[in-house]
Copies of this chain bind each other. A is one copy, B any other.
Amino acid sequence: MYRDVLVIGAGVLGLSSACHLKRKNPEKSVLVVDALGGPGRGNTAKSAGVFYNLHSSESNYLLADSTIDWLFHLQDDLGYDLDLAQHGYLYLLSESKYSMLRGLVSKMRRWGIDLRTYDKDELKRVMPDLVTEFGEEETELMGLDPVDVGLFGVKCGSVNTDALARSLEVDFLGLGGEVSYNTAVTSLILRPERRLDLPGEPFVWQDIQVVGAETERGEIEAETTVVAAGVWSERLLDPIGFDPLMRPKTRAIFVFKDPRLQGLLGVRGFSSLNTLPFTQIPEIRIYLKAELTEGSIWLGCADDFGRRYGLEDDPKPESGLYSNSIYPALVKYLPCFQDIRPVNMWAGQRAINRYDGVPVVAPAPGMIYVGSATGTGIMKCDALGRAVAALYADEEDVELFGGRRLKAASLGVETRGVEKEAFKI
């Protein structure tokens, strides 16, 4: 089977790439394959589904800020229902941690990011469930700093990742694209650029290129292969010696639904939604997200050093992670969680780019790799799909939704030119 473009992975990055490729090149045949049975069934489905324009790397800011605008365009102008909820992003910090972020905050404000601060008294008033002063021996022993400052980003919220993936699929199919699910790719196919048809090719002195993929349903040849397989990309890229600069880590999410959390879920004043913003307590490496469609609170663990790297097909939350590890510290800040146990939990994997925390969109002969970093692919999916289409068309600039631009080569590997991300979840 031959297609002009083969996209491996029907997550948000693969589908967004496929849409932009097909839209710009309607005459080309574009096929998306995925090992799973539908769009966004891999780690897209396991993510927290948040978006925020708070990034200290200008590349990340442009990728996310333009994609957020596009998400609202998709819902408000094109009529796709994405359950967008702009509840804001609240970062709860001690005075000493906040002082280290002052430079970043000024930079983000210069870019036009709407960023507010709450002092301790304001936090107490708007978020009565939050403990901002400990004054007890136990938290001292535990080494926990109290909360002095809340940093609040306005253009932040959550999106239904399943609806987003399905919308992208609808868009792509409407453009005349093809999708083949339950089609696991087993390897990429390498051939010499100039074939001699001799046994043993490719030889070490030949220039080689990717010419498609071997799948469980047979070989698919393609002029260009887009690898957008998320954490699974390394299974395809290691054998051909291409380093995507990303390694997978497991991140768990716990779901809480309890009348005792209604106060927290319904905090007023942060946004017109009058609900809990996406709230991060970096001191204990957790975040909370209001899931309005089900009236629940999601809690995620965002530890890094100490959490192993390694690909897992079916990751699970570590035994005791919530009850033994997170809980004792969580209830110090939010006593309303006392004695409440999660009603659901799961784990997904995210690809971590420890080097600079910025996505990679990099060409190799016959191939384009696209990978997000630190699990922020959903909020950058439109921009990254555009970057893939720009590389495909050999364009110097990526034109983002809304008209801003960035250099396509800056997201590459050898040609990389991005600022490191310092603002991490």
Contacts and interface: CB of A to CB of B under 8 A. Distances in A.
The residue among A202, A301, A309, A328 with the most chain B CB atoms within 10 A of its own CB is: A309
Q: Which of the listed residues A205, A245, A283, A320 has the most CB atoms from chain B within 10 Å of its own CB?
A: A205
A240 B200 contact: no
Given A354-B243, A354-B413, A326 B364 contact: no
A324 interface: yes
Interface stretch (A79-87, A141-149, A165-173, A384-392): A141-149
Contacts of A414: 354, 420
A417 to B, nearest CB: 10
Nearest to A138: B196
A306 interface: yes
Given A200-B324, A200-B325, A306 B205 contact: no
Q: Can you list the 6 inter-chain pairs with the closest CB atoms, starting with the nearest?
A: A205-B284, A205-B329, A243-B354, A203-B325, A241-B307, A200-B324
A26 to B, nearest CB: 31
A147 to B, nearest CB: 14
A245 B413 CA distance: 12
B321 A204 contact: yes
A142 B207 CA distance: 10
A352 interface: yes
A101 interface: no
Contact of A207 (B143, B320, B324): B143
A286 B204 contact: yes
Nearest to A208: B306
20 contacts: A142-B194, A142-B205, A142-B206, A143-B206, A199-B324, A200-B325, A203-B325, A203-B326, A204-B301, A204-B325, A205-B284, A205-B326, A205-B329, A238-B309, A241-B306, A242-B305, A243-B247, A243-B309, A243-B352, A243-B354
Contact of A238 (B143, B208, B310): B310
A241 B245 contact: no
Contact of A144 (B200, B205, B208, B310): B205
Nearest to A354: B243
Contacts of A309: 237-238, 241, 243
Contacts of A352: 243
Interface string A185-201: 00000100110100110
A365 interface: yes
Interface in A238-296: 238-243, 245, 247, 249, 283-286
Contacts of A216: none
Nearest to A420: B414
A364 B304 CA distance: 12
Contacts of A413: 354-355
A419 interface: no
A414 B56 CA distance: 14
Contacts of A243: 247, 309, 352, 354-355
Interface string A302-330: 01111111100000000011001110110
A307 B202 CA distance: 11
Contacts of A305: 208, 240-242, 364-365
Contacts of A241: 249, 304-309
Nearest to A206: B143
A321 to B, nearest CB: 7
Contacts of A144: 205
A419 to B, nearest CB: 12
Contacts of A404: none
Contacts of A286: 204-205
Given A205-B283, A208-B305, A239-B308, 15 more contacts: A142-B196, A143-B193, A200-B325, A203-B325, A203-B329, A205-B325, A237-B309, A238-B310, A240-B305, A241-B307, A243-B354, A305-B364, A354-B413, A355-B413, A414-B420
Nearest to A246: B243
A125 interface: no
A73 interface: no
